[in-house]
Structure 1
Amino acid sequence: MSSRRRRRRRPSTGRGLRLWLVPMGILAGIALVVFAGFFFLDHNVTGGAPVKQGEGGAANYYVRFDPDRIGDALTGLAGLTAAVLGIVLTVVSLLVQLTSERYTGVAQMFLRDRTNVAVMIYYVVTCVVGVATSLSLHGDFAPRATVLAVMIATAFGLVMMLPYFAYVFRFLAPTNLVTRIEAQATGDVLAAATEQDPATIQEGQAPAIAALEELTDITSNSISGKDKIIASRCVDAIKDFVVRYLEVKDRAHPQWFKIGEGIRRNPDFVAMDPESLRELEADKTWLEWKALRQYLGIYAEAQSDMPDINYL
């Protein structure tokens, strides 16, 4: 089973890298070719004072930074990175806010994503390094390696902006959100159910309930918006989540089947008679019951607005 999962994940990982590297390589290549063409033209044909003997070719001449003149350029690089960070934050915040109005939990999911966090960290670190580099210049000293590193990091941040926006759009696509919710909930439940620590087990029960309710909310919003594709995907996601759970249920710790304090205050459990709760614990079916309870709510809501969903 694990080898099959690995084989399934590799193509998606490679495709994800291509979605980043290919556009970044194209943008960086075009920019480099355009700049190099004009720079070599100026260096060999239309430039100012001729290159002195022993100063090397155009590339060596380019990296001979003048400490008296490079300061303004470094300050501009730091400001440019900060401006790009501001643009990225503004666009991403608007997209996340608009999506959060329709689907709950999007903001938390966005902030938990490693790619989003890594991109923000990259821009912040590049900006701080650029500011520090601009203050390291002296009248007779220019840190060439540091200046080149800041230039490359700034250029990398610029060409990364467009692929990152594309990644955010893919991340916030409704079908991808549903897939992420299901995958995260499945991973949390499988890990918590097979734990040995009772406290950790009880903490892992709440994400399962939250995921089921979140998928139900998305289904309800999709039914209201006449979005049959998303509603169908959410219904299937609840089913897939329960099926994956049933695969490891026989290996779950006995404490997992006890309704812990973290979920006992859930409205569906609060409304139940204590005897019914004890029966759920004895039958080890509180999670399956919760999933069926969510299906019942979806069925009632879809009965009038989108009855086709009830045939899934």
Structure 2
Amino acid sequence: MTSGILPTKSSQTIQNIQSLELSLLMTKLKNNIWAFGIPSWLFGITDRSFASLADGYISPIEIFQLLTAFFFFGSWLCLKPEQSFNSGGVDTIQRYRKDSHPYLDEVYISTVQSRMVELQDQHMISQEYILPVPYLCQIYHLLNLKHLETIHNFSLNNLKVINVSQIQPTEMGGMVKFQTILDSPANALRIWRQPIVEAGLILHTPYTVELIIPVYNNKHITVMFNAIPLNENEHKLFIDIYSNLEWPKPLLQTILHFAACLTLFEDLPYLRKLAERNIYRLVNLSGLSDRETMWLMRRFVELYGARNLEPQPLRAIEAVGE
């Protein structure tokens, strides 16, 4: 992983966003025109058929006209516009914008949108959940590197975080690169990755976390987590997974859906436990571990812990630590 892993907003990114939005608009327009053409062709064929049969005799010219109409109608069906446009990540952005509109800074939304547009061509799956725990529990969980080897001990089969190799603060968050090792000789992940690899975790905004997982030969899986508070005791979690793996897409999507569901299943008991312990009192700068594996959570508190964020669900963050 290089420092280039941490994206920066640029005019090119803005152009990409505008281009993507235009592509979505054109795709919808083409589909609407194509759909409107079907009843038009059917009406024309039906009208021509009744006209041909009106005198009880079909001439060779009328047969030729009907066959021509059927040919062009079949051609129209074959010209159905491409509907496999990879809009999954864009759909998440649109829902994210809608859910967070009353209170989320436009800068945060723009930052998330920029990054997800950069990854759009690699989009694989989207998942969305409403979880009955405070938003801060999710952030605390995501920014604690040790959760990879404790909470997900089963799914990751004894994967260990052995070193934080780089720390890089940003205006709205930061990035850490860390090395992981497959501690078990029977770990299925050994099939496609080296025993020791360097992964990345990025805090883009107080609501968005990105996890970058190397696989092999510069191939990787990127997971974008967007957590939006709904009230003091609930939040909405968007999970979008991207990858440049050259595997059959249906197979990879099936694997990723299963993996995302499994890890969320592992998360829930821990998230509930954090909620029961009152996460707002548990997390504070003085009580946070000074280990590098918790650096991103400390960074989160430094940037947002003393700020009176609205609406009401976020006001408790004033007392937040790690």
TM-score greater than 0.5 by the shorter chain: no
Q: Which has the higher helix share?
A: 1
Greater share of strand residues, 1 or 2?
A: 2
User: What TM-score does the superposition give when structure 1 sets the normalisation length?
Assistant: 0.29
Question: How high is the TM-score relative to the length of structure 2?
Answer: 0.28
**Which structure has the larger Rg?**
1
